[in-house]
Amino acid sequence: MPSKTRRISEFELIARYFAPLAREAAGALDLKDDAAWIESRADAQWVVTSDVLVEGVHFLPDDPAELIARKSLRVNLSDLAAKGAAAKAYLLDLVLPATHDEPWIADFVRGLAKDQVEFGVSLIGGDTASTPGPLTIAVTALGQVPTGEMLVRSRAAADDDIYVSGTIGDAALGLVVLRGGLNRLGAAAQSYLVGRYRLPEPRTVLGPKLVGIANAAMDVSDGLVADLGHICATSGLGAVIEEDLVPISPAAATALREHPALITAVLTGGDDYEILFTAPGTMASTILKLAQTLNVPLARIGRMRPGAGVEVVKADGSGREIDTPGWQHF
């Protein structure tokens, strides 16, 4: 589509800023063609996912361009990782308001370039358009899994152990900080939590290693309880989480000591971008070893069971009522 209002033409924009991001991908043809080709492999399947980020909905208008770029890519890499796929390439659709001019785009591209190196992916195409509306970014990411091995939500088994990577609730508490809360928390803890909200760390190393180990998996973006609810619903099962087993960062633990009621935000808040998965009990030692080898914390937080819905129990055996669609009180 021809550009109408940009000072820099769409053609120049692609040649100057996007083509360098596609240099490593032979099939992207330097972004000088209508489409890109990608190499297929006999023993692998492509896994494809897409996420749209809208200014004012998924990020704030004055968030740095570099951070917006990296978040747009990373939320997709997190989806691929949760499916056991190794990320390879991505497409970028940019819908730009006139306020986002060349310096903004240069910063945005710098963010993408950093993450391409960090995660080993290449831009292979996309589209660019102008809009009178808010900045809108869509990324479509492509990854590969061994044929037939993509991890799905629906194959949890009754009695499976439930695991989660990293720590839960940091991003939700980071948002509390950004809204002016938790102001008695130390500066280092505050900035740790805000950082976890601003820039997800997709579990790209862990994900592909869960193939052959996990029965069901997904990434935690809507909140631990709601997302486990999705595994329950698609697998036709229920789940029980032990609240004390849910891994909490030191910063989040400090925040919770001050404000115990924030446990609800931790368990339901979202934006964690950790991997939630279930596995049979026979995999326990393999999972322990994997955590050590990869240096990725993996915590067992509960168990699948017949029935429906997610129950959260405390050490004293009492249930915790959590107001979220994925949760049911027993």
Binding residues vs Mg ion (CB under 5 A): 1, 127
x/- binding map, residues 79-118, to ligand ADP, per CB under 6 A? -------------x-x------------------------
For 85, which DSSP code?
A: P
Which of 71-79, 120-128, 220-228, 264-272 is the region at the interface with ligand ADP (rule: CB under 6 A)?
Answer: 120-128
Among 1, 117, 187, 261, binds ligand ADP (CB under 6 A): 1
- Closest CB to ligand ADP among residues 105, 185: 105
Binding range to ligand ADP, per CB under 6 A, among 31-39, 63-71, 78-86, 179-187: 31-39
Using the minimum distance from each CB to ligand ADP, give the nearer residue, 124 or 267: 124
258 binds ligand ADP (CB under 6 A): no
Q: Which residue has the tokens 């909140």?
A: 223
Indicate the burial class of 15 (C-beta count within 10 angstroms; 0-12, 13-18, 19 or more).
middle
- Residue closer to Mg ion by CB (options 63, 127) is 127
The CA–CA distances, whole Å, from 15 to 92, 191, 231, 247 equal: 14, 37, 43, 46
Nearer to Mg ion, 10 or 79 (CB): 10
Angle at 161 between CA 292 and CA 257, to 5 degrees: 75
Told to check if 14 binds ligand ADP by CB under 6 A, we report: yes
Burial profile 166-194: b = 16 or more Cβ within 10 angstroms, e = fewer = bbbbbbbbbbbbeeebbeebeeebbebbb
Closest distance of CB 207 from ligand ADP, Å: 25
**Which residue minimizes CB distance to Mg ion?**
127
Rule CB under 6 A: say whether 142 interacts with ligand ADP. Answer: no
Residue 128 found at the interface with ligand ADP (CB under 6 A): yes
Rounded Cα–Cα distance for residues 95 and 110 (Å): 18
Piece in contact with ligand ADP (CB under 6 A), picked from 48-56, 119-127, 188-196, 316-324 = 119-127
Beta carbon nearer to ligand ADP, 101 or 258: 101
Asked if residue 312 lies in contact with residue 238, where contact means CB atoms within 8 angstroms, the answer is: no
Closer Cβ to Mg ion, 93 or 201, answer by number? 93
> 268 touches which of ligand ADP, Mg ion, none (CB within 5 to 8 A by kind)?
none
Q: Which does 121 bind (CB under 5 to 8 A by kind): Mg ion, ligand ADP, none?
A: none
In the bound state with ligand ADP, the residue whose beta carbon lies nearer, of 96 and 312, is 96
92 touches, from ligand ADP, Mg ion, none (C-beta below 5 to 8 Å by class): ligand ADP
With respect to Mg ion, which residue has the nearer C-beta, 3 or 324?
3
Pair 321, 243: CB distance under 8 Å: no
Which H or E run contains 242? strand 238-242
Please give the C-alpha separations between residue 60 and each of 54, 169, 173, 289, 295, in angstroms, as whole numbers: 9, 20, 17, 40, 33
Q: Which of 126, 169, 174, 302 binds ligand ADP (CB under 6 A)?
A: 126
- Provide CB contacts within 8 A for 265, sequence distance 6+: 169, 172, 173, 176
Nearest distance in Å: CB 130, ligand ADP: 12
Q: Which of 58, 53, 83, 49 is nearest to 197 (CA)?
A: 58
Q: Is 125 in the site for ligand ADP (CB under 6 A)?
A: yes
CA torsion, points 34, 3, 25, 122, in degrees to nearest 10?
-130
Q: Residues with Cβ < 8 Å from 289, sequence gap 6 or more? A: none
Give Cα 189 distance to the centre of its chain: 22
What residues make contact with ligand ADP under the rule CB under 6 A?
1, 14, 18, 31, 33-34, 92, 94, 123, 125-128
